[in-house]
A and B are shown apart, each in its own frame.
Chain A
């Protein structure tokens, strides 16, 4: 089976812009979670989607949003970018149980905000 794929792999944006990142889960996986990784804050949970619904949410401002499509693919959007949003954004998929199950991570999207 193909692993979790994320596009694009690298992205450069400027402050104030918005960005959309995409994640395709492993075939058959219905849960997709998103994480932000920075040197200062480490790995932080953003949100989890299951059956096109946000099932769990971390402590991030409303500028961070996501959605999931009927084929389980997910997108994450960040509006009004700030310098502090520069990070590696990771998506992970699991079968059904989401956070309580083994998660398989994609390679990440490296976002740089100038």
Chain B
């Protein structure tokens, strides 16, 4: 079974609104990464947060990590139509296994 489960599976918002997606995982990790995938640009790395970090920012992105709950969230502020894509969390699990979550499909309506 997959290490990561994402919630919601699909999200539709208006341009300018914030989008939040969540990722839960099952085993201890070294780090957690978020990726975006759309048909035009393939799979693109967004941000990496290590297991000893709790929050990280990159531009309009904010990622939190709660290792006690084995969960992470990705917040995209002031969304744009170009943010329309699928978002995946990926965990580097202890034992050198790399797992992707099931993904959240985000649609930003202009």
Contacts and interface: CB of A to CB of B under 8 A. Distances in A.
Interface of A: 33, 35, 42-45, 48, 55-56, 58, 90, 92, 99-108
A99 B32 CA distance: 10
Given A45-B97, A45-B99, A58-B97, A99 B45 contact: no
A44 B92 contact: no
B96 A43 contact: no
B105 to A, nearest CB: 12
Interface residues of B, number: 21
The A interface, classified by DSSP as helix, strand, loop or mixed, is strand
A96 to B, nearest CB: 14
Per DSSP, chain B at the interface is strand
A7 B81 CA distance: 31
B43 A44 contact: no
Contact of A42 (B33, B48, B97, B103): B103
Interface string B90-110: 101000111111110000000
A90 B43 CA distance: 9
A99 B45 CA distance: 13
Contact of B98 (A42, A99, A104, A106): A99
Contact of A102 (B42, B48, B88, B98): B48
Interface string B8-44: 0000000000000000000000110101000000111
Given A42-B103, A102-B33, A56 B96 contact: yes
